[in-house]
Amino acid sequence: MKALNLILTTSEHSKSRAKYLLIADALRQAIKQGQVAPSEALPSARQLAAQLNVNRHTIMAAVAELVAQGWVEAKERSGYRVVKQLPIQTSQSLISTASNTINSTSQNSTSKNNSALKNDAVITPSFNWQFRYKNTATISDTKSPSAYQYNFAGGQPDNRLFPFSEFKHCFSQLCQRPKFDKLGYGASAGEAELTEQIATYLRRVRSITDKEIMICNGSQEGLYMVSKLLLQAGDKVAVEQFGYPPAWAAFKSSGAELVIIEQDDKGIIPAQLATQLIKGDIKLIYLTPLHQYPTTVTLAVSRRLQIYQLAAQYGVAIIEDDYDHEFHYDSQPLAPMAADDPLGLVIYISTFSKLMFGGVRVGYVVANNELITQLSAYKALMNHKNNVLIQQAVAKWMQQGGFESHLRRMTRCYHKRRDFLVSLLRDYQRQGLPINFNCPAGGMALWVDMGVSIVGLKQKLQTKNVYLQTEIEFNLLTEQDDSQYRFIRIGFASMDENEVTQGMKIITQTLYG
Ligand SMILES: Cc1ncc(COP(=O)(O)O)c(C=O)c1O
């Protein structure tokens, strides 16, 4: 038999591969190219060994690999032959059969003379997914906000200031003395060390007591799970007119409808909520009471009480999303609604995404025992539990005091950065720009009325390496004309003074020329 043209790969990656695997790859390639046809014998091991200048055992190992992969079979007394039907042909022939079936079915059901659907034309059908929930945004064309030189994303912490070397010690301690009994399944509500640390912290700093905790993969998973457990198609969720789109998406994924409750400069209007509750079907109220997302307003105690009373009267649970509680600068932050919840109707959701960084994916739901039991069972169904090592590392970091020192450092830093942005905007006002805003008592962003339409601003800025969110993406009321969209949300936490100054210069020049 004539020698095969065998090309052994010499790429960087192939250097670490065993020789017999490289030979198996080359033989497979030769078979695919048709150098040896199906059912035809391979050259003998001796021939191949001589051609490639290797030991016969190496060739036998390569052939054995091809047998295992289904390309070659051993034939008694006649050596090794290429199989009759190559592995690639098997799936291709399945596709052809499916395609022919589809074609002939559609031919029968439509026109027999339809020349585009000839039985002999092999059209590769693409699988017809039947989505129950479909996202219309293409994930691949969404560049991450942190990939921009100037990232004004509202809730973005400054990841550069996270104490990685301190945190690394927590991890390495855990890896030096692994807790073998904790590395398996179970404990879907979270590692006891972490839930205990969080419970102590919440009791001390946020006055939340008598509730259970479940650790989740960031608040988003908590929102999604709550929506899966409590909502069904046709249910309604009362949300603030301006809000957090990922939460809306979680509710809508269960088939729920959003009911817009209007807000004023003091936050959501309780009378509007009452009007909607009377109409019925509302199953949940979603609120961001401390730093209303995106407007940053703190909901006054009197309104909180009114809302709680309404929820109690109509038997509706409240989700309180307290995503950046500690970053409050002018006074102590108001205690969460969950701290005064005699009926246990508040589902409190919070996160480490702002205190650490978004990719850490540690969040938690705090609620009464009945709900947490069900949520934990659902968590087990979805993904068993959160990553154990990261939970233990965060617990250790909290226990050793690193978490609270970092928090104090970052609160001081973000306080300064808020004040800097406020003074920069006041300078702009003095220069005559039609900018209007209230200085928020806390949070990581300012909600600013730019005095002119901001429609198209985000896209223009993206071409200038600036990421900025505008009112359009947060406002549920869409029937306004362009001139009515005037607000932007300027995150001030993730960049230093120099970066904010440069970025703001680009924003104002783009908007006002
Ligand atoms: C209103 C709100 N809730 C929750 C989160 C945090 O989400 P996660 O914990 O899933 O990172 C954010 C982050 O931007 C937020 O703005």
Q: Note the pLDDT tens digit of each residue in 198-210.
A: 999 999 999 999 9
> Looking at the domain 1-112, which fold is it?
Arc Repressor Mutant, subunit A (1.10.10)
The C-alpha atoms of residue 170 and residue 360 are separated, in whole angstroms, by 15
Least confident range from 96-110, 258-272, 294-308, 487-501: namely 96-110
Note whether 161-402 and 406-512 share their fold: no
d(CA 261, CA 270): 9
Contact in structure between 82 and 66 (CB atoms under 8 Å): no
Ligand 1 atom with the smallest distance to the CA of 293 is 1
Tell me what the pLDDT averaged over the chain comes to. 91
Ligand 1 contacts CB of residue 240 (under 6 A): no
161-402 has which fold?
Answer: Aspartate Aminotransferase; domain 2 (3.40.640)
Confidence of residue 113 (pLDDT cuts 50, 70, 90): very low
List pLDDT tens digits, range 225-251.
999 999 999 999 999 999 999 999 999
Q: What is the reported pLDDT for 195?
A: 98
61 Cα to the center of ligand 1, angstroms: 54
pLDDT cut 70: percent of the chain above it = 91
Percent of all residues in the chain with a pLDDT value above 90, rounded to a whole number: 80
Phi, psi for 346 (deg, rounded to 5): -90, 130
Tell me the pLDDT tens digit for each residue of 428-480. Answer: 999 999 999 999 999 999 999 999 999 999 999 999 999 999 999 999 987 67
The answer for residues whose C-beta is within 8 angstroms of residue 444's C-beta and 6 or more apart is: 154, 155, 156, 157, 324, 327, 354, 414, 491, 492, 493
CA dihedral 39, 40, 45, 47 (to 10 degrees): -170
- Average pLDDT (385-403) is 97
Q: Is the CB of 469 under 6 A from ligand 1?
A: no
The reported pLDDT for the residue numbered 370 is 96
Centroid of ligand 1 to alpha carbon of 456 (angstroms)? 25
Least confident of 13-17, 267-271, 440-444: 13-17
Distance of CA 502 to the CA centre of its chain: 29
Ligand 1: which residue has its CA nearest to atom 15? 323
Atom of ligand 1 lying closest to residue 219 CA: 9
Predicted local confidence at residue 130, as pLDDT: 84
Residue 111: the pLDDT is 46
Environment class of residue 278 by beta-carbon count within 10 Å: exposed (0-12), middle (13-18) or buried (19+)?
exposed
Question: What residue ranges do the domains of the chain occupy?
Answer: 1-112, 161-402, 406-512
Residue 405: per-residue pLDDT? 97
Q: What CATH number has the domain spanning 406-512?
A: 3.90.1150.10
Report CA(220)–ligand 1 centroid distance (Å).
7
